[in-house]
Each structure stands twice: as C-alpha cells, then as structure tokens.
Structure 1
C-alpha cells in the first residue's frame, strides 16, 4: 500500500499500481504456491519465502482456510517447536481437499490413477485390452469401447481411493497419438483417430480441467519431475517411448516441444533413415523378427525354437537372448544397432544431452538398451547423446499425467473450488 495526495493505493511487488482485488489474488497465489512446496509452515515461514508482511500472510491464510485449500494444524507450542510468547499458528496444504486423475489410454491397456494434491497415488484401476498394432488399425478396440474402458477405469480408481467423483479437479489423459492444444489428434491416420476418440468432450463434465496429451510428452514431464527421473539433471533430453511404435517427448532447454499439431516427436522421418526405415517400436520388431526366424527354421535347437509364433512376446525373445540362444542374440544385437542409430540421428538433429528409453521395453528388453548405450559410448560422434533406461518403467506415462494434471490445478487454483468434504 502507498499514499498519493492523501489517497491510499495498492502497488504490487514491482511498485506498479494495481487494484486491491488483483493484489489480494497475487498474494494468495504466492502463499498457495509456497504451501504446495512446503510441509507444515507458520506465518513467519511464509513471510520469509514470499516477502509478504505478517498481516498479509495471516489474512491470506485465513482466506485459503475458508476456501478449503489449507488446514490449520496444532500450534507450534503443542508440537514442541515453540516455548515462549504467543504460540505460532501452523498451516499446511490440505492434501485431500481434492484429487486429480491421470489416465494412461495406451495401445493395449487403459488405466486410471487417482492422486492427492501432493501427487501421491491413492487409487488405481486398469484393464488390458486386445493387442494393438499401429500397422493393423482394424485390430484396434473401437472408439466406443475405449471410451467405455476409460470410464470404467476412472470409476474403479475413485472407488479404490474411496473418494467421490465431485472431488476431482483435473484429469489428464495420455494417448499414443499426436495431440494439438485443443486435445484433438490429426484425422489422416486411422490409428490416431481411434487412439484418441474425443476424450476431451467425453470427460468434459467430469472435472473442471480435462486435458489430452501425447504419452511420450507426458513421459518427458515425468522424467523431468520425478525424483528418479532420467531428465532431472539434463537441460535437453528425449524421452523415447518404443513399444509397438516409437515416439519421443522432446524436452529442449527445459521446455517441452510439441509442434503445431502436437506431432513434433512422432519420428516419422525415420522412414527415410538408412538402417532404420520406419518408426516401428522395439517390441513389435522383436516379435516380428523372432517369428520370421522361427518360420524360416533359422533358430536351431535354442530357446526360440520352443516359442509359439502366434503368442510370443518381446520379453521371451529377451530371455532367450539372455540364455545365449544365438538366434535371439542376433535379434537383440540388431535391435541395439537400430536403437543406437536412431539416437545418433536424434543427437545430430536436436543436440540433446541424453535419451531416456521408457515404456515396457525398459523392463522387457534391458539388454538391448544397454548394448545400444555401449555402441554410442564407443562412437566417435561428438553429438552422440548419453543413453539411459528409464527408472520409472511402465509408470512413466501415469506419473507424467498426474504431474500435468496437478500443474493445471496449480495454475488455476484460485478459480477452482476444492471439495468441502475431506477425502477418505
């Protein structure tokens, strides 16, 4: 506050004139942002973190208490943290004031995870669906079935968490397709149309904020934000998802690069790269090459010879290679060389520090990733990125979806109303 010709006016932290309403909102946002990062705190703690006066902090905390964003805890004297004078009031973010939901609507599975306002998962429900191949769109579960499975997953996760649907503030849905800023996918690809069958509209009444995002982009967010994320200490990195297909989340100079239609990481240019020839994923190729070897009777008496071509998966190919089966080793070596070549091309194009390989193949084909990493280490290419297996495993997309949903809530918190009923 400042005086001008006897009149009191409001100024922000930069000394610019502003209205009392705007100033209160700015102050509330600063305190709430601090509460999101902190545990229990006192007014003095918030003053030190925000630079606001004691009276302003206390007034803002009282308002956030009324709105349901904060809880008032036992005072500092009651917990042994204060011994003289008037005991300090203590506050904390009300973790269960509301919840967010991350949905992983993948190629062959759909799951939903409910998390509190700290991002801690408290409920989950999922289902496997018929195997999906990007090159066989006719085998996709149809749009109606996918929407129904998403609904079942969300309802099941809420039941598992013991919270009511009215507690949901934000939902983020991950799909294996490029997504524009409106949550829509390009229409020219039948796989993309079915993988993202209008989730934004379908879930529009379920939460104040509903977003649809590419799964690799969300994996990049997870690798950047999770404690074990492979991108926490890298300014520029790629989260490479390679299962049935191959897609990339591009985190360049600390910013997620999406492109005009959300297709910046689709990697279709690999169709034109010698020694690669497509953006088919490692899981798909491991199965395809194993079936070709078995059908052509090129597997001898090794472990591959005992696998059923109709049902084998990439994990079995990886295990066969680990057992020393020469045919399986040849397949995994071929996959490693392909992955290394892709990383070299991406390094040349984007000059990134690191490529983090996530998805199920991080667990099912670990030797392929490790072998590709050694090829990169031995290369003389100065732009060759470091290659890492994701420590987040198959949960990376869900972790990213939850973080994305929480970021949406944090950015709009003062326009949202948390549930008045504590979650169970």
Structure 2
C-alpha cells in the first residue's frame, strides 16, 4: 500500500487525529475544543467526536464545562476534557550494584510511589533478578496500581545494553551479573526496556536538568564505576553493542588507570589512610567506624578543612579532570554533568577538577557542573523514556 493510499484510509486518518489529540492531553491539563483545534488544526466537529471516543476508550475524562468551572458566564459553555489520571502508568527502575530503586509514575511522568531495596555486593544473578522484580511489585503496591495498567517498564543497569535489552558477557561477567536477563523477568508489566543507567541519566538531564540548554554533553555517573551517557547534537549515542560511554578506556589513561568511580576511590583511599595510621585522632575521618567511612564522610571532612580529606579530594579532582578531558577530546562535549547520588556532596572535588581543567590543559575544555536531580537521576530518566515510548504511539496501548 502506498503512503498516499494509507494516509487516505479513514481508519488511519482517525488514528492520526486521535493521537494528535492525545499528544495534547498528555502534555497539558484541562482543555476545551478551541484549545484542541488550535493545537491540532482539526475542525470542531472532529475534535468533539474524537474526544468522546477517547472518553469511551478510557483515555480522557469529561470535566465540568467552562461556565460551571467559573471561566466565563456568557455565551455557549464549552466542553472540557482532561487526561484520565489513571489511564496508564510507567515504571522506572535503577538496578544498581548495591541498591535497586523502583518508582511508579503516571503518563505525565509524576511519581505516585516507589521503593528502595538493598542488594548484596556478591548477590548471584538470579537473586539480583528476583530483588529487582520484588522492588517493582512493591512499588506498584505502594502506589495502589494494578500491573495491568502498566504500559512500560524501563530498567537501568550499570552495563552496556544492546537493542534487545541484553548485555555482553565481558568485564569478568560483571555486566551479565548486573543485567541477568531482566528483559525477560517482567511479564505482564507492559513493554519492557532495559538500558544503560548512564544513558537514562543523560535522558533525565536533557529533559529536566543540566543538559536542557546545550547540544552536546556527558552525564557522568561516578559512584562505584565511571559511566557516561553521551548526547551529541541533541542525540543520545548508543553504539553497535550499546557500549557508547563505557569507560574501559580509562584503564589506559595516565593519572586515572581504571574505571573505578569517585565514590569507590574516596572510600578506598580513606580506609587505606586509616589502616596506615595517617588520620589524626581529632579528624572527622576517625570519628566513624571503618565500615561507614565512605565518600560522604570524606567530602564533609574536606569541607571542614581536614588535611587527609583534602589530600583525597585533590587526588579525586585530578582523576575527574582527566576523565572530563577524555570525554571532551573524543566527542567534543561542551559540558560534563556529574550525575547521581554523589553529585550533591562532591562540590570540593568538582572545584578541584575545574581548577585543573582551567590551568593544566589547553582549551577547549568542557564546563563541569553538578546535577541538580539527586539520587533519583536514573529512575527519572527511566520514567522519561517510558513516557516517551507511550507518547510516540499511545493507541498501541490499551487502557484497562
């Protein structure tokens, strides 16, 4: 069938017009026929007929008319509609190395419930898969959402992910441990998408955070390992195997030497300093048990002027500056956004890295900023991707 003949089919044309109306409903609040006509170019009679059909299908809800709503008192009252708040939902998951976070959101991306579950570092793949599924089911229960109303479940993992949602077996099986067939573990929970966690962080930053006003940037996750979501000319880079932004190259970079992230390195350096008795008795680093001596303690101590913590920050700043330079040299990003849970506390490290970029390397060097999205960056990106999936073809999904 030719494109012209397909477009002239009444059924196809009706679907196109219905999805144009739904695009309006999915991105705005209450609307009347005039607003819908302006947004879609459809006639009043078409808008009225399609809105009633979408009410019948469960996508829209009819509201009080404009006069009843107090918008005006003269003339013919206009009918008004709004997206049915519980027409459908998306689930966003951050299946991290130590924690699995799952949130439920409506079709506008607003959270309605969520949970966080701990995962043992040495958890077997089947255990990790079951914990991830449990987190999703508990989040649905907290949000009082039935599984049948989930249109999409999007899961972020710290591993490269191909177009089928699977990860290669490299990195000493770390990748397949982090993504143990998750794409097959969520039957009955809508369309399941597994993606790299840094890619989802980049989606969140582009939609909601520090990537909104630039064309090319890297969202850099830097807790246990470095991973980057790369946006170039407004497009997310993925690569043939989904490995764009994997930071194995750092093993070969002088002054870095591994893909270990700032969180892991801060913890290890602080614990080594304690073991070698290089921490003063009155240091904040000496006031907590070794098991609790993590990056948050190190950064707080550095802000208070502790000499050992400041030395660690200088080491981390050197490392971060070189990672930024690698990203800038390879793909010419104009900004690096330090994303994830570490970003809020890493101010001293960011300041150190900015100074090194400014004084030790010739331009152009990327701007380095901290994300404002907090620890939920990956789940925010997962929700954004799920919502975008629904908005691209809403009538592919059935309201239960």
TM-score in terms of structure 2 length: 0.94
Counterpart pick for 2:176 among 193, 197, 200: 193
Q: Is the 8 A contact 1:209 1:408 kept in 2?
A: no
Within 5 Å, give how 1:54-133 maps onto structure 2. Answer: 54-130=44-120, 132=121
Q: Is the 8 A contact 1:119 1:403 kept in 2?
A: yes
For 1:347, the equivalent position in structure 2 comes to 328
2 CA distance for matches of 1:312 and 1:362? 18
For 2:356, the equivalent position in structure 1 comes to 375
Q: Is the 8 A contact 2:344 2:371 kept in 1?
A: no
Question: Is 1:416 paired with 2:377?
Answer: no
Counterpart pick for 2:199 among 217, 220, 224: 217
CA shift for structure 1 position 311: 4.2
Moved more, 312-321 or 382-391: 312-321
Q: Is the 8 A contact 1:117 1:406 kept in 2?
A: yes
Q: Is the 8 A contact 1:104 1:173 kept in 2?
A: yes
Q: Which runs of 5+ in 2 are unaligned?
A: none
Within 5 Å, give how 1:16-415 maps onto structure 2. Answer: 18-130=8-120, 132=121, 139=122, 141-189=123-171, 190-203=173-186, 205-226=187-208, 229-301=209-281, 302-378=283-359, 381-415=362-396
| 3-state secondary structure, aligned to 1:278 | coil
RMSD: 1.8
1 CA distance for matches of 2:320 and 2:170? 27
- In the superposition, relative to structure 1, how do residues 213 and 77 fare at CA in structure 2: closer, same or farther (>3 Å)? same
1 CA distance for matches of 2:299 and 2:159? 27
| 3-state secondary structure, aligned to 1:183 | coil
- In the superposition, relative to structure 1, how do residues 92 and 310 fare at CA in structure 2: closer, same or farther (>3 Å)? closer
| 3-state secondary structure, aligned to 1:110 | strand
Q: Residue deviations 1:174-230, cap 9 Å, x none? A: 111111110000112311111101111111x2223110011100000111112xx01
CA shift for structure 1 position 380: 5.6
Q: Is the 8 A contact 2:252 2:258 kept in 1?
A: yes
Q: Is the 8 A contact 1:373 1:388 kept in 2?
A: no
Q: Is the 8 A contact 1:124 1:161 kept in 2?
A: yes
Runs of at least 4 residues of structure 1 off by over 6 A? none
Q: Is the 8 A contact 2:7 2:13 kept in 1?
A: no
Q: Residue deviations 1:262-318, cap 9 Å, x none? A: 110111111111111111100111111122222223334433345544442111222
- In the superposition, relative to structure 1, how do residues 85 and 347 fare at CA in structure 2: closer, same or farther (>3 Å)? same
Q: Give the number of equivalent residue pairs.
A: 396
Q: Which runs of 5+ in 1 are unaligned?
A: 1-10, 133-138, 420-424
